Homo-oligomer: A and B are copies of this chain.
Amino acid sequence: MTAKKELAVVLVSGGMDSCVTAALATQEYNLAFLHLSYGQRTQQRERRAFEEVADFYRVEKRLVARFDHFRQIGGSSLTDRRIPVSKANLESREIPSSYVPFRNAHFLVVGVSWAETLGASRVFFGAVWDDSSGYPDCRPEYYQAFNQLVRLGTKPETQIEVVTPLIHLQKHQIVRRGIELGAPLHLTWSCYQDAEEACGTCESCALRLRAFAQAGCEDAIAYKVKVSYT
């Protein structure tokens, strides 16, 4: 195919979901990678994962935006060192301490503004409904509402749409899809607690380990404690 591809902005956190999202996006679009750093405990490790995934896909357009105000706003264990990261409880329906109020909207608005400036037509975001036991901003309706906002709030000649291709997948399906697409999952980082070896016990590690176990695959990153979750 020689047709010129359109451009898409992909929000790449450094985690597994955004890596698989990039693997899907690259099939149809040229990519621009956006990373948000917001004072989370593991921000340097996530930034490294972002750069390595960008290198893997040979992405030249990269934007790293810093949100110092997340720390000022407070209220989350991800950015407030006084609030401990809770241990995983995959049965709980409570909003976990890592919740940052209205977080995804911050990320998406940067994505949309950058897309309008670049002339990109899509903003890819790896939101997962399975994740959303506690996070209200992972629901499919939320992204419908967001796209309505984008239609009303951008220049009439733009046709930017936020797409969330993983939203209805289970975590283990995401792992499988990533492996099928050759996504570099070994370069990604999920742990909320540590940066050298993944802690294996925080909520994010637990979700990742369970996903690999259910997919019947081995996770190639290093863990301090490799707990079996099923």
For residue A224, CB closer than 8 A to chain B, the reply is no
Q: Tell me which residues across on chain B come within 8 A of A63, comparing CB atoms.
A: 69, 72-73
In the assembly, what is the distance between CA of A146 and CA of B151, in Å? Answer: 12
Q: Is A73 in contact with B153, judged by CB distance below 8 angstroms?
A: no
Q: Is B73 in contact with A110, judged by CB distance below 8 angstroms?
A: yes
Q: Which of A101, A106, A114, A148 has the most CB of B within 10 A?
A: A101
Select which of B137, B141, B152 is within 8 A of A136 by beta carbon: B152
Q: Do A112 and B102 contact each other (CB < 8 Å), given the known contacts A136-B152, A148-B148?
A: yes
Q: Per-residue 0/1 for A108-120: is the Cβ within 8 Å of any B Cβ (1 yes, 0 no)?
A: 0110111011000
Q: Is B153 in contact with A136, judged by CB distance below 8 angstroms?
A: yes
Copies of this chain held together in the complex: 2
Residues of A at the B interface (CB closer than 8 Å) are 63, 65-66, 68-70, 72-75, 95, 100-106, 109-110, 112-114, 116-117, 136-137, 139, 141-142, 145-146, 148-150, 152-156
Q: Which of A141, A145, A154 has the most CB of B within 10 A?
A: A145
Q: Is A149 in contact with B153, judged by CB distance below 8 angstroms?
A: no
In the assembly, what is the distance between CA of A104 and CA of B69, in Å? Answer: 16
Q: Can you name 10 extra interface pairs (CB under 8 A) apart from A101-B116, A102-B109?
A: A65-B69, A73-B110, A101-B117, A101-B155, A106-B109, A106-B110, A136-B155, A142-B149, A145-B149, A146-B149
